[in-house]
Structures are given as C-alpha cells and as structure tokens.
C-alpha cells in the first residue's frame, strides 16, 4: 500500500543508545510498506537545474554551465555551496558507496574541462 502522507506522529521514538548506537523503537503497529520515519533532504536540487542556476548562481558559474553543457551537476555544486558549513560537513561525512568511481570521474571531467577553459579554475573548486 502506498502512503502519500507523512508518518503518523508518535509512531516512532528514540530509544536511547544500544551498544553505542542511537536506536528507534516503534510505539504502535505499522502496516507493510508504511513509512516509519521521514527526514528532509540535506541537499535538494530542483528538476529544472537551469532555472535554479539562473536564480542562485554567480555570473561566472552561469558561464561555466553554458560552456560545460551540464546544468544538473553544476546546480548540485551550487546547492552544496549554499548549505551551512555544518550541513556541508554532514553531507561529506556520508562518503560514497564502496566501489563508486563518482569522485574520481568528477575530478577527471573537471580537470579536462579546466584544460579547455583555464579561466574557470577559480570558479570550480571541486577539491572538497
């Protein structure tokens, strides 16, 4: 069953520390597929990345987007930069999945882009 609303209040509560790990405990019965908990995303980029960049990015970043031809990835970078430093640190602390090549691939793409457009080196500080 698909539930479109938020989970009922009071259904799950923090149960203290269990073996050094924070745990949750159900306070009522839940149906199969019913959400137990929802959290707001740490980083949210609207589907229309181009419009997001128009309203949130510097002129230099907008120029990078035009040259790069990839507004979605650049919009994620801009959204990340707008986060408070504590949220940036929390997001980076999550790391990437084991075996993922996303960090290396992104670095390689940025490096290739900067070879073609060295004037954007100060705009694209991807070394996080």
Q: Summarize pLDDT for 44-70 with one digit per residue, the tens.
A: 888 898 899 999 999 998 999 889 888
Q: Is the pLDDT of residue 4 over 50?
A: no
Residue 34 near residue 4 (C-beta atoms within 8 A): no
- What is the pLDDT, as a whole number, of residue 127? 64
Q: Residue 47, CB half-sphere, CA atoms under 13 Å: how many?
A: 0
Is pTM beyond 0.75? Reply is no
Distance between alpha carbon 63 and the CA centroid of its chain, in Å? 23
Radius of gyration of the chain (CA): 20
Give the model's pLDDT for residue 116: 93
Q: Which pLDDT belongs to residue 2?
A: 45
What pLDDT score does 88 carry? 86
């Amino acid at each position: 069953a698909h539930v479109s609303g938020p989970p009922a209040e009071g259904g799950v509560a923090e149960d203290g520390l269990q073996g050094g790990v924070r745990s949750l405990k159900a306070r009522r019965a839940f149906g199969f597929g019913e959400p137990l908990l929802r959290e707001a995303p740490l980083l949210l980029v609207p589907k229309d990345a181009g419009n997001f960049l128009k309203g949130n990015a510097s002129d230099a970043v907008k120029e990078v987007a035009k040259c790069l031809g990839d507004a979605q990835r650049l919009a994620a970078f801009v959204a990340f930069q707008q986060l408070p430093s504590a949220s940036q640190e929390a997001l980076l602390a999550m790391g990437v999945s084991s075996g993922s090549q996303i960090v290396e691939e992104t670095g390689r793409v940025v490096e290739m882009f900067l070879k073609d457009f060295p004037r954007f080196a100060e705009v694209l500080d991807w070394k996080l």
